C-alpha cells in the first residue's frame, strides 16, 4: 500500500519511524507547511524522545531519502488538495496535521485517486466514524471515505471499558488523564496558540502557562471521543485531565462502578486472557515497579498496571493505565491503514 502523510509533526514522524523500522508500508509522499526539506530530514533522524535513527536520512529540494532505498516526495502546501497524490499513486492519506479546515477538503482527494483518508484526531463531525482498533474496526463500511483513528486517550480507555462491559457491565465512573506537554504549549507564560484552528488563542488560558513548571488542570475530550466509538458510554463517565511537565507517556486513573460483584483476581484474569487472544497490540498487563518513562516506545494501546488494581465494596474498581501517547497511538493508526487495505 502506498501512503501519503499530510502533516509531519510528532504523530506524522512517529508513524514514519514505525514504518521505516518495520518496513510495513510504502510512504511515497509527505506534505508539511515546514518549507525546509533538510529540517524535515533532520527532525526524522534525530528525536529527543525516541533517539537517533540508524538509517541514513537526507533531503534535497524535492525528496526525502532513506538508506539509498526509499525516496519520498516532499511538498509544502497549506491546501491538501494541491498535493499531487495521484502522481505518486497514493492509496491512503493519513492526515496528521490536526487542522480542522483540512478535514473539510479530504473528500476531494477521491478525485486524485486516494482510496481513503485517516485523520489522527477526533472530529466533531458525526458523519466521520471513529475507529478504535480492537474494538469497532468491523463497523467500517465501504462508503466510509474519511475515518478517524480517535485520540490517544480513547485508544487506551475504550478497549478497557469494552472488556469490562462485556464481562461485568459498567454502571458509571470517573477518569483522570495525565498527559505530557504538547508542542503548542509554552516554556514561559503567554498565550496558547491553537493547532487545529491556526491564529486562534485557546480560551483555556492555563494552557498558556509554563509547561515545564506546573501541573495544569484542564478539560479533556477523552470521554466525548470515546463515546464516538462506544456510544453506550454516553452519560456514564465524567473526566478531567492534567497536562504534566513530562515529555512522553500518558496515564489514566480510572474509577468505575461495575454492575456485577467481582474480585480483583477475576478482573485480572479477564485482562490477562484478552492479552493472550488479541489480534493487535491493544492490552498489555504489567506488575513490575515501573514509572512512566519505562513505557516509552511501547506499541500497546493500554498498559494495565495491576499494582494499583483495587476493588472496593465488591463492585467499585480502580485502574491505572499507561500508554505512550505518540508511539502507541501511531501504531494503531498503522494497524487501521493495514486493516483498510484488506477491505
272 and 337 Cβ atoms separated by less than 8 Å: no
Q: What are residue 285's DSSP bridge partners?
A: 304
C-alpha cell at 147: 475515518
Of 177, 172, 169, 114, whose CA–CA distance to 147 is shortest?
114
3-state SS, residue 304: strand
Averaged pLDDT score across all residues of the chain: 96
CA 123 centroid distance within chain? 13
pLDDT at 265: 97
SS3 state of residue 58: strand
CA distance 90 to 74: 13
Higher pLDDT, 26 or 200: 26
Pick the catalytic residue from 152, 222, 227, 317.
Answer: 152
Q: Could you give the CA distance from residue 183 to residue 195 in angstroms, rounded to a whole number? A: 9
Q: Torsions phi, psi of 33, nearest 5?
A: -70, -15
Structure-block grid coordinates of residue 260: 456485577
Q: What domains can be seen in the chain, in order of their start residue?
A: 2-120 (3.40.50.720), 153-325 (3.30.360.10)
At 182-222, the pLDDT tens digits run 999 999 999 988 887 787 888 889 999 999 999 999 999 99
Distance between CA atoms of residues 199 and 144, nearest Å: 31
Cell of 230: 462506544
Whose CA is closest to 26, among 76, 94, 83?
Answer: 94
pLDDT confidence bin for 116, thresholds 50/70/90: very high
Residues 165 and 163: their CA atoms lie apart, in Å, by: 5
Q: Is the pLDDT of residue 28 over 80?
A: yes
User: Residues 137, 116: contact at Cβ < 8 Å?
Assistant: no
Within 10 Å of residue 147's Cβ, how many Cβ atoms?
Answer: 21
Is the CB of residue 147 less than 8 Å from the CB of residue 118? yes
Beta carbons of 149 and 118 less than 8 angstroms apart? yes
Taking the CB of residue 190, how many other CB atoms lie within 10 A of it?
12
Per the model's pLDDT, the better-predicted residue between 125 and 82 turns out to be 82
Q: Which of 254, 293, 301, 245 is nearest to 132 (CA)?
A: 301
Residue 212, CA distances (Å) to 179, 185, 187, 189 in order:
13, 9, 6, 10
Q: What is the pLDDT of residue 220?
A: 95
152 catalytic, yes or no?
Answer: yes
pLDDT at 202: 81
* Phi and psi at residue 332, to the nearest 5°: -75, -35
Predicted local distance difference test score (pLDDT) of residue 241: 97
Kindly compute the dihedral angle of the four CA atoms of residues 329, 331, 333, 339, in this order, to the nearest 10 degrees: -140
Q: How far apart are the first and last CA of the chain?
A: 13
Cα–Cα dist 199/100, whole Å: 12
- The pLDDT score that the predictor gives to residue 219 is 94
Contact 96, 120 (CB under 8 A): yes
The predicted-structure confidence for 58-96, as pLDDT tens digits, reads as follows: 999 999 999 988 999 999 999 999 999 999 999 999 999
- Rounded Cα distance between 13 and 43, Å, is 8
Amino acid at each position: 500500500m502506498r501512503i501519503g502523510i499530510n502533516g509531519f509533526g510528532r504523530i506524522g514522524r512517529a508513524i514514519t519511524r514505525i514504518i521505516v523500522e518495520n518496513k510495513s508500508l510504502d510512504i511515497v509522499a509527505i506534505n508539511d507547511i515546514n518549507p525546509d526539506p533538510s529540517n524535515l530530514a533532520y527532525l526524522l533522524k534525530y528525536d529527543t524522545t525516541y533517539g537517533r535513527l540508524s538509517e541514513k536520512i537526507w533531503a534535497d529540494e524535492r525528496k526525502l531519502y532513506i538508506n539509498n532505498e526509499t525516496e519520498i516526495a516532499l511538498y509544502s502546501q497549506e491546501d491538501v488538495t494541491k498535493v499531487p497524490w495521484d502522481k505518486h499513486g497514493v492509496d491512503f492519506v493519513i492526515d496528521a496535521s490536526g487542522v480542522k479546515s483540512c478535514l473539510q477538503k479530504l473528500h476531494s482527494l477521491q478525485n486524485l485517486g486516494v482510496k481513503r483518508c485517516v485523520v489522527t484526531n477526533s472530529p466533531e463531525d458525526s458523519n466521520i466514524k471513529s475507529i478504535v482498533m480492537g474494538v469497532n474496526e468491523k463497523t467500517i463500511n465501504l462508503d466510509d471515505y474519511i475515518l478517524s483513528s480517535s485520540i490517544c486517550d480513547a485508544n487506551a480507555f475504550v478497549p478497557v471499558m469494552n472488556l469490562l462491559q462485556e464481562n461485568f457491565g459498567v454502571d458509571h465512573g470517573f477518569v483522570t488523564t495525565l498527559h505530557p506537554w504538547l508542542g503548542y504549549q509554552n516554556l514561559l507564560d503567554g498565550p496558547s496558540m491553537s493547532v487545529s484552528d491556526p491564529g486562534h488563542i485557546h480560551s483555556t488560558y492555563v494552557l498558556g502557562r509554563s509547561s515545564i513548571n506546573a501541573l495544569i488542570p484542564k478539560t479533556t475530550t477523552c470521554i466525548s471521543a470515546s463515546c464516538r466509538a462506544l456510544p453506550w458510554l454516553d452519560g456514564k463517565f465524567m473526566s478531567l485531565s492534567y497536562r504534566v511537565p513530562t515529555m512522553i507517556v500518558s496515564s489514566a486513573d480510572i474509577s468505575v462502578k461495575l454492575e456485577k460483584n467481582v474480585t480483583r483476581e477475576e478482573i485480572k484474569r479477564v485482562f490477562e486472557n484478552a492479552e493472550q487472544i488479541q489480534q493487535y497490540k491493544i492490552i498489555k498487563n504489567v506488575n513490575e515497579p515501573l514509572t512512566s518513562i519505562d513505557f516509552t516506545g511501547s506499541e500497546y494501546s493500554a498498559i494495565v498496571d495491576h499494582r494499583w488494581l483495587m476493588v472496593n465494596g465488591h463492585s467499585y474498581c480502580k485502574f491505572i493505565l499507561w500508554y505512550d501517547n505518540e508511539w502507541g497511538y501511531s501504531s494503531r493508526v498503522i494497524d487501521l491503514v493495514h486493516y483498510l487495505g484488506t477491505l
